[in-house]
Amino acid sequence: MTTSQARQEGAGAPGSSPAPGESGPAKAPRRRLAGIDVARGIAVIGMFCAHFDPDLLNPDSWLQQLVTGRSAALFALLAGVSIALLSGGGEPAEGRAMRARRVQIAVRAVLLFVLGLALTSLGTTVKEILTVYAVLFLLSIPLLRVRPLVLAVAAAVLAVAGPLASFALRGSVVPQTRTGVSPGWADLTSAQGALEVLKGILLTGTYPVLTWLPFLLAGLAIGRLDLRARTVRLTMALAGAVLASAAYAASWAAMNPLGGYARIAGNLGGGLDVEGVRLMTADSPGTVPVDDPGFLFISASHSGAPLEILAEIGVAMVVISVSLVVADRFPRAVVPLASVGALALTGYAGHIVVIWAIGIDRLTVLATETGYLPLVVLVVATMVLTTVWRRFLGRGPLEALLARLSTAAGSLVRP
């Protein structure tokens, strides 16, 4: 790991600083975990791929199958990891230091929410994740001293209970006027619009909190572990691989040889066949349809079904474990990818601005004419720019803004 990486890990990749007024003997600062930056870089580039895929509208394209859903899930889980590291890692802060951390996280949440609204208001087709990311930040505040085992169990329980509750609420209590929608400034200009925003964030959006909270909890649990320990990395990789494999296998068995798709097709009628049902669920808007409980057994990306959530948590565990090992063994080789991860917020917001600046119609034409070239240019340019920026200027512009404002707010906390 290089000297420039020797900074404590921060939430959402904006970097962090010691808690203002932290009492007790000074602790030697621990080096930044480059592997977490690498994993976050993978998540960001995965979202680039999902949005710049020349076969974007085909949910069966190899690139969509690889990155859609999994990248956003990894990004959300890493929010929990970063929050845990920001608040002390395996030794959570106490007293004034912890209160300062809570204030910092709350301020970052507000800023992320505002940024998310602004990005949605650009009018691109990207379903931004930052507004829900912000709510997850807020929900983490009372959980900062919860033990890792409790967090892990809660994540597993909510991975099943959350989708079941969502299915029940959307089917009988909460009318689904809009699904898979990200909130923008215009939605907050009326009471009805604000209620729709709240409903979307909690229940019916692309990233509803009810089914995305397990990713945060799993990330918090992982961030409390000793991620520098070889046994922790190996155990996490094996557990993640088993979890993902079991969840995907269970979903495949339930929907194919056990007749899940066929049963749903028969119940829905209307000439719908098995392939039609599969395609209907291949590109979900964040929630499963409430027409049939069989939909709860799918594992399609962004479906919000239990097996999808468990599988994507498992995939994220493997990615994080491998990233930690690779970053330690090949520190120079991972610098470009780690730089994307260290400037993840700037990179994520930047790629949405690029889509807005080019225009979705023009981008579609470019993708049709040149295939993967726009995606390759974006990825390479992002790696180069973030590497140079980090080398000479440190934190990215958005990361620096969040760090500066949140640290200033944290410094106001009194003993």
pLDDT digits (tens, 9 = 90+) for 96-147: 999 999 999 999 999 999 999 999 999 898 989 999 999 999 999 999 999 9
Evaluate whether residue 236 is within a structural domain: yes
pTM for this entry: 0.91
Evaluate whether residue 365 is within a structural domain: yes
Domain that includes residue 252, residue range? 16-23+33-410
Q: Which two tokens stand for residue 133?
A: 């990311």
Query: What is the reported pLDDT for 40?
Result: 98
Burial (0-12, 13-18, 19+ Cβ within 10 Å), 24: exposed
Report DSSP state, residue 59. Answer: T
C-alpha R_g of the chain? 21
DSSP per-residue letters across 287-352? S--SS-GGGGG---TT---HHHHHHHHHHHHHHHHHHHHHHHH-TTTTHHHHHHHHTHHHHHHHHH
Q: How many domains does the chain contain in total?
A: 1
Evaluate whether residue 176 is within a structural domain: yes
pLDDT tens-digit series, residues 168-212: 999 888 766 566 667 778 778 888 888 888 888 999 889 999 999
Evaluate whether residue 2 is within a structural domain: no
Number of H helices, E strands in the chain: 17, 0
Evaluate whether residue 333 is within a structural domain: yes
Virtual CA dihedral for 245, 250, 251, 254, nearest 10 degrees? Answer: 160
Query: What is the reported pLDDT for 242?
Result: 99
Position 7 confidence tier, pLDDT thresholds 50, 70, 90 = very low
Query: What is the reported pLDDT for 49?
Result: 95
Evaluate whether residue 415 is within a structural domain: no
Fill in the amino acid letter for 363: L
CB–CB of 206/182 below 8 Å?
yes
pLDDT: is 223 or 272 the higher one? 223
pLDDT tens-digit series, residues 19-33: 333 334 445 456 789
Evaluate whether residue 364 is within a structural domain: yes
Evaluate whether residue 10 is within a structural domain: no
Percentage of residues in the chain having pLDDT higher than 70:
91
pLDDT tens-digit series, residues 57-110: 777 788 988 999 999 999 999 999 999 999 999 899 899 999 999 999 999 999
